[in-house]
Chains A and B, each alone.
Chain A
């Protein structure tokens, strides 16, 4: 067998083996790997590289060494999943470097983390003043995770005591001009509904690049033809506007009438409508 055919066979078979090994070793990203997993990956790649191009070494040498470098990290990972103590040993523990706004110098030293490293990592998180930090942890991967002090954290709806309507993930129902039946069924809608909605928007499905439905059943589309204007969903804002108008009308009627009974009726209902608006408006935004 000529050498070049051998190289092709080796390259293909080792490539396939390597593909499955990396698949079985897990879905972690490169940046999440600890040093041991990182080295394992490099060694596996090295073994493949050497044996693909060096024909003097028999192919089963490659298989044996690759198998060992695969099965060992695999077992380590398997045991790590089961035992916390083992996990601490193999993957390392996260270490607190700032607590209650104070830097833990001893912990920094243990991790060989210099003050400059700490400042750099903080700057990466857009924090330029150590005094703004309440708590910071150095993860085994070398990443620094920071909890800023309460007043330096971004405002959330909870901080503002805002009532927000819950929502679910939107479903993609049109892709490349074709309806997707499964996501449609997930939100208990059918293609006829989709056709009606598209007709309301005055667009044909062939012209739709992407269409999504939110948990309130509102359809938004992106068209191939970007010069066409697509109406955004107007049902909910329109409803809120109508409710506000009616509320104002009822108040006006109440002021205008001389009949005491009618006056009371208008006032009562205007208050009731205001209550309904306050109640439903989070859902209509």
Chain B
């Protein structure tokens, strides 16, 4: 069974994936508008990622069985 900790961790990984993909798209496009949009979204996602990272650490501490 997936514990809450592992679920949050999966979500955290997906968020990191989104962040990286946005970075790739921003580099691929040669449209200035699109590049700025991708970069701005990437920044928003980074904020979410930082929040989630803290949560992942907290949960890891609260669910010791998950660390084993």
A residues in contact (CB < 8 Å) with B: 165-168, 187-188, 215-218, 235-236, 238-239, 242-243, 245-246, 249-250, 253, 256-257, 262, 265, 268-269, 272-273, 275-276, 279-280, 283
Contacts and interface: CB of A to CB of B under 8 A. Distances in A.
Interface of B: 4, 7-8, 10-11, 14-15, 17-18, 21-22, 24-25, 28-31, 33-34, 37-38, 40-41, 44-45, 47-48, 51-52, 55, 58
A280 B30 contact: no
The 3 closest A-B pairs by CB, nearest first: A217-B28, A276-B44, A280-B41
Given A216-B28, A279-B37, 10 more contacts: A217-B30, A239-B22, A239-B25, A242-B21, A269-B48, A273-B44, A279-B40, A279-B44, A280-B37, A283-B25
A236 B30 contact: no
A166 B31 contact: yes
Nearest to B48: A269
Contacts of A283: 25, 34, 37-38
Secondary structure of the B side of the interface?
helix
A242 B18 CA distance: 7
A222 to B, nearest CB: 21
Contacts of A239: 18, 21-22, 25
A249 B38 CA distance: 22
Contact of A272 (B22, B47, B58): B47
Given A239-B18, A239-B22, A269-B51, A216 B45 contact: no
Given A246-B18, A262-B55, A265-B51, A216 B41 contact: no
Contacts of B24: 235
6 contacts: A187-B30, A215-B29, A250-B11, A273-B44, A275-B44, A279-B41
A235 B49 CA distance: 20
A167 B30 CA distance: 9
